[in-house]
């Protein structure tokens, strides 16, 4: 039997035995005709760039070829685990499995890996769940979906950035002002509710404006085009990030709001809580589901 088939059969067997919630596949593997016991198979998109960078960061410091190969395999294995964690967290935020085991199958030209991953131990999912303790999970979920979409597709073919400050909205409004007229002012709540998908297009449109979105605990957009009047001193975030990220982190220190940002430059989604970056993810194309 060809290698890919053997790997797919083995992954399906492991998944059935462990009662997995999903199989996540990357690479040229065909599950047609393989008994998966109704476990859904997701085809995930390419590895995020950060993981590829990590993989190719080989150190050539005079190590023996065997040690070099060992290091390369370790990097490859940890890169694959990170890749499955990342893809599973994105599917968690979209409509994918919420808990249990996910079996990841990564097929590259040189190697095949089967990774058994417990979603309960996924650091990104844990961080999302911690946010959900503070903000209505449905509201958090809607914000993440919109943010992923903005990170992935931008607007009119251009990459754009955005920031959503979610929860504790009275305090956030007190610590901010409009830089342009608030496009949500005076509109009925039904048209400002982030839980209603029909309002998502206009939210994405207003993401083009300068400033942040302020969203209350029930999902009502209180304002867009809002400037955060916060003190960015002593905010310890990744070097190279500017005003959008510093102010988003600072407002999460000064209030109990959660900040979700999308960077214009790299399409990276970050979440700040209590001034700390708790999530940093490159956007990936949503997986396509096979079963």
By CB under 6 A, name the binding residues for ligand ATP. 161, 210-212, 227-228, 241-245, 247, 263-265
* Pick 265 or 288: Cβ nearer ligand ATP: 265
Which backbone phi and psi does 154 adopt, to 5 degrees? 60, -150
| C-beta closer to ligand ATP: residue 103 or 235 | 235
**Residue 4: CB minimum distance to ligand ATP, A:** 40
Pick between residue 76 and residue 282 the one whose CB is nearest to ligand ATP.
282
Helix ranges restricted to H, the chain: 3-18, 49-56, 65-93, 123-134, 137-153, 169-174, 200-206, 243-254
Closer residue to ligand ATP (CB): 102 or 237: 237
CB of residue 206 to ligand ATP, shortest distance in Å: 12
Shortest reach from residue 263's CB to ligand ATP, in Å: 3
Shortest gap between Cβ of 153 and ligand ATP (angstroms)?
Answer: 15
Backbone dihedral angles phi then psi of residue 244, each to the nearest 5 degrees = -60, -50
Q: Which is nearer to ligand ATP, 95 or 231 (CB)?
A: 231
Which of 130/264 has CB closer to ligand ATP? Answer: 264
Nearest C-alpha neighbor of 222 from the set 179, 191, 266: 191
Lookup result for tokens 């990220």: 245
In whole angstroms, how close is the CB of 203 to ligand ATP at the nearest point? 15
Nearer to ligand ATP, 104 or 211 (CB): 211
Tell me if 163 sits within 8 A of 248, measured CB to CB. yes
Place of tokens 């400037």: 227
Strands (E), 173-254: 176-178, 212-215, 221-228
The least distance separating ligand ATP from the CB of residue 164, rounded to whole angstroms, comes to: 11
Q: What is the CA radius of gyration of the chain?
A: 21
Asked if residue 262 lies in contact with residue 162, where contact means CB atoms within 8 angstroms, the answer is yes
The order of strands in the sheet holding 268-273 is 176-178, 221-228, 212-215, 162-166, 258-262, 268-273, 276-282
CA angle 81, 86, 90 (to 5 degrees): 150
Shortest Cβ distance from residue 52 to ligand ATP (Å)?
Answer: 21
């Amino acid at each position: 039997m060809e290698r890919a088939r053997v790997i797919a059969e083995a992954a399906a067997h492991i998944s059935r035995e462990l009662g997995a919630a999903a199989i996540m596949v990357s690479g040229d593997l065909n599950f047609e005709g393989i008994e998966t016991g109704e476990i859904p198979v997701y085809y995930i998109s390419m590895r995020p760039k950060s993981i590829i960078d990590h993989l190719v960061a080989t150190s050539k410091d005079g190590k023996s070829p065997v040690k070099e190969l060992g290091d390369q395999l370790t990097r490859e294995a940890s890169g694959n685990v990170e890749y499955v964690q990342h893809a599973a967290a994105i599917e968690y935020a979209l409509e994918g499995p919420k808990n249990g085991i996910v079996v990841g199958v990564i097929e590259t030209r040189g190697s095949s890996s089967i990774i058994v991953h417990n979603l309960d131990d996924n650091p990104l999912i844990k961080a999302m769940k911690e946010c959900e303790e503070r903000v209505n999970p449905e509201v958090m979920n809607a914000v993440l979906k919109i943010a992923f979409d903005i990170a992935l597709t931008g607007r009119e073919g251009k990459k754009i950035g955005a920031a959503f400050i979610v929860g504790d909205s009275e305090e956030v409004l007190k610590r901010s002002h409009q830089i342009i007229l608030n496009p949500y002012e005076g509109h009925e709540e039904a048209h400002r509710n982030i839980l209603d998908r029909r309002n998502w297009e206009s939210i994405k449109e207003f993401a083009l404006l300068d400033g942040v979105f302020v969203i209350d605990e029930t999902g009502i957009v209180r304002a867009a085009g809002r400037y955060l009047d916060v003190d960015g001193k002593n905010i310890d975030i990744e070097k190279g990030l500017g005003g959008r990220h510093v102010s988003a982190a600072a407002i999460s220190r000064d209030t109990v709001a959660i900040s979700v940002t999308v960077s214009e430059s790299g399409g990276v989604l970050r979440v700040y809580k209590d001034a700390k970056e708790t999530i940093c993810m490159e956007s990936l194309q949503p997986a396509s589901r096979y079963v």
